[in-house]
Chains A and B, each alone.
Chain A
Amino acid sequence: MRHLIDITDLSVNEIAELIRTSNDIIGNRKAYSEVCRGRKLATLFFEPSTRTRLSFEAAMLELGGAVLGFSSADSSSATKGESVIDTVRTVACYADVIAMRHPKEGAPLLASLKSPVPVINAGDGGHSHPTQTLTDLLTIQREKGRLDNMTVALCGDLKFGRTVHSLIAAMSCYENIKFILISPEELKIPDYIREDMKKRRNIEWRETDKLEEGLAKADILYMTRVQRERFFNEADYMRLKDSFILDTEKMRYAKPDTIIMHPLPRVNEISVKVDDDPRACYFKQVENGKFIRMALIMRLLEVSK
């Protein structure tokens, strides 16, 4: 039995296989509509979500399976003080696979240590978000035709941005990747990410606080939201929330084939006017998220078409 807790739980070959399956699903959806008949996915979301939870549920439904779960900690026994481990042991009696989002870092890992069914990390606090990364990789592969030889600029909250942490870990496995890390001083990437990048000889990176500088050289610009829910201090959030705003004016610095990505939700870090630019890919990411999660569920349940 496998879990997906961190993106590095998957090898490059396994990621390539998931992308292949996703592309096959996109071109041949009917062939997959019954593969999970009789199987159940539990979505345990202790923290709010629109895309991740609904895409997991839509993915399982499109595979012919069923879904159950809760969408906030308030509607579970967590409010009565039930532990994560007891919750997972209970839900595993009713479901074949669990997708868990939790505000505490490491909660899905802890759950996986005691769960008799596969656990998928659907986001743990500001730590990691491997299924968003799978979504991002599928999008990059489909839009750019490759996952190597690329300059990736990541902008915004790189400290608590779990999608950023997982994406850097994943992209670091490919050849000739350069990262441009754009953030205010207070929201720079955590030390452990920097430590991991240092270990890899194929990775170059530099840190800056200028969006225009990164945008001019990027093949991919990955924007992120400054997340109010990660701050203990509201004043710090208010000071940093508008650090970077991508608008049509700044888009003039981007190359014609640069793609703009964002894990969403956004607040105001990307102007809605940018949505009409053909380089904006964030709604394609949303759609791809369902297909890669279908491929992942199939893999963890060990089913094929």
Chain B
Amino acid sequence: MNVDGINSGIVLDHIKAGKSMEIYNYLNLDELDCCVAIIKNVKSTKLGRKDIIKIDAEINLDLDILGYIDPNITVNVISDGVLVEKKKLKLPKEVKNVIKCKNPRCISLAERETDQIFRLTSPEEGIYRCIYCDSESK
């Protein structure tokens, strides 16, 4: 199967197989007018299988969200057909309104319009906890 290369835009590579739709939704890529290609289950020497997303436009991506989902994703920036930047991701210290607390006792669920904020409490294990009730994001 062939998918055209892009002239100027972004390629998200090394996405864990099966995770591309989740990323598509988190990044609200459905709101873009440009071409977006989701390629699933591509053979990969590093991962066995991987997903790739190609975005045919130069847009500002929320790298914190991407880093939270999977810090191993590679972000390739293409300009005039040339790879101009490879961005490395890392686990963000804090994510806001990306995930929702599931603790029914947490104030963030009871108080309207409260930002859902999770903080990285254990970088080694990638554990994020709600700043209000300390519940782990699952």
Contacts and interface: CB of A to CB of B under 8 A. Distances in A.
Interface residues of B, number: 21
B132 A192 contact: no
A166 to B, nearest CB: 12
A126 interface: yes
A124 B107 CA distance: 9
Listed residue (A102, A110, A126, A190) with the most chain B CB atoms within 10 angstroms of its CB: A110
A212 interface: no
A125 B105 contact: yes
Contacts of B130: 106
Nearest to A125: B105
A48 to B, nearest CB: 17
Interface string A78-92: 000001110000000
Contacts of A191: 136
A106 B135 CA distance: 11
Chain A interface: which size bin? 20 to 34
A192 B134 contact: yes
25 contacts: A83-B112, A84-B111, A85-B111, A104-B106, A104-B107, A104-B110, A105-B103, A105-B105, A105-B133, A106-B106, A106-B133, A110-B107, A110-B108, A110-B132, A125-B133, A126-B105, A127-B105, A127-B133, A127-B134, A191-B136, A192-B129, A192-B134, A192-B136, A195-B121, A232-B104
Interface of B: 103-108, 110-112, 114, 121-122, 127, 129-136
Interface of A: 83-85, 102-107, 109-110, 124-127, 190-192, 195, 232
